[in-house]
Amino acid sequence: MVSAGDFKNGITIEIDNQVYQIIDFQHVKPGKGAAFVRTKLKNIKNGGVIEQSFRPTEKFPVARIDRVDMQYLYNDGDFYYFMDTETFEQIQLAPDAIGDALKFVKENEMVKICSHNGNVFAIEPPLFVELEVVDTEPGFKGNTATGATKPATVETGALVYVPLFVNNNDKIKIDTRTGEYLSRV
9-62 tens-digit pLDDT: 888 899 888 889 888 999 999 888 889 999 999 888 777 889 999 999 999 999
- Alpha carbon 89 to chain centroid, angstroms: 23
Q: Return the pLDDT at 145.
A: 60
Domain boundary pick from 60, 81, 98: 60
Counted domains in the chain: 3
Same domain, 75 and 87: yes
Q: Return the pLDDT at 167.
A: 87
Domain boundary pick from 30, 60, 90: 60
- Which amino acid is it at 106? K
- Residue 91 and residue 172: Cα distance in Å, rounded? 30
Q: Return the pLDDT at 140.
A: 65
Which of 5, 35, 10, 30 has the alpha carbon at shortest distance from 20? 10
**Range of the structural domain that residue 155 is part of:** 128-184
CATH number for the domain including 151?
2.40.50.140
The string of pLDDT tens digits covering residues 98-156 is 878 888 988 899 999 888 888 887 888 899 999 999 998 886 666 556 678 889 999 98
The string of pLDDT tens digits covering residues 55-97 is 999 999 998 888 899 999 998 888 999 999 889 999 988 887 7
CATH number for the domain including 29?
2.30.30.30
Local structure of 5: helix, strand or coil: helix
Q: Are 166 and 136 in contact (CB under 8 A)?
A: yes
